[in-house]
Structure 1
Amino acid sequence: MTILAIGAAGIAAVLLAVWLKGVRAEYAVYLVMAAEILFMLSAAGRLEVILDAMERMRGYIRVDSAYLGTLLKMIGITYVAEFASGICRDAGYGALGNQIQILGKLSVLGVSMPVFLALFETLERFMK
């Protein structure tokens, strides 16, 4: 799906959900969740492009594969946290969505710590 198709489908889902909210509010929530899952699956299909690009980056410069794996984990954590947070907000549980976002940010920070430590070790070697 192109971004135009996704945008149009998203607008159609929202308009239909607004109409359904007046008729059966719970169906509106289900419709929005189904649209979000469809969009998540569409975005997951583009994961192959990201993996190919990361593999090409490894060919251009010598990068430890652990760093690229860490980058991929950070992208995955961010994506899942945003997706879950959005569903919680759409269902009317904004506080829970905020907690999921905070946990996602802390998880990204935790996963990225080895990269920061390696950066500081490299800087320390150059300073001596």
Structure 2
Amino acid sequence: MTIITVAAAGIATILLAVQLKSIRGEYAVYMVMAASFFIFFYGTGKLKNILETLEQIQSYIKINSVYLVTLLKMIGITYVAEFASSMCKDAGYGSLGGQIEIFGKLSILGISMPILLALFKTLESFLQ
């Protein structure tokens, strides 16, 4: 399935949801959420390609695997937080979606702190 297929499925779901909204509004929300979960889990299936590419990058340039694992965690947190936030906003709970976004940003910041400290330690060794 390509991005065109996923986009077409999403648009078709939205068009059906608009039609259902006038009859049974809650069914439209459920339909959009089901399509969103389908696309989300399909997207996570693409992680295999990303992992293989990161392993190739690591073999070309001798980089510590901790950095790549941290980068992958950041990507995962971003993907999940954005998905959950969008779902909340679509369901009419924008404030909860905003809180999920803030928590995702704080989680990324927390994960990146050891790398920032390692960078400062490296800079300190160069300056001495």
TM-score interval (norm. to shorter): over 0.9
Q: Which residue of 2 aligns with 1:77?
A: 77
Percent sequence identity is 61
Q: Which residue of 1 aligns with 2:14?
A: 14
Q: AA paired with 1:87?
A: M
What TM-score comes out, normalization by structure 2 length?
A: 0.97
Q: AA paired with 1:113?
A: M
Matches within 5 A, 1:1-128: 1-128=1-128
What TM-score comes out, normalization by structure 1 length?
A: 0.97
Q: AA paired with 1:123?
A: L
CA distance in 2, matches of 1:91, 1:74: 26
User: How far did residue 86 of structure 1 move?
Assistant: 1.0
Q: AA paired with 2:46?
A: R
CA distance in 2, matches of 1:120, 1:10: 45
Give 5+ residue unaligned stretches, structure 1: none
Aligned residues: 128
SS at match of 2:124: helix
Superposed CA RMSD: 0.8
User: How far did residue 6 of structure 1 move?
Assistant: 0.7
CA distance in 1, matches of 2:63, 2:26: 49
CA distance in 1, matches of 2:124, 2:11: 52
Give 5+ residue unaligned stretches, structure 2: none
CA distance in 1, matches of 2:51, 2:115: 19
Q: AA paired with 2:100?
A: I
Deviation track 1:22-68 (CA, whole Å, cap 9, x = no partner) reads 11000010011001101111101100000001100110111111111
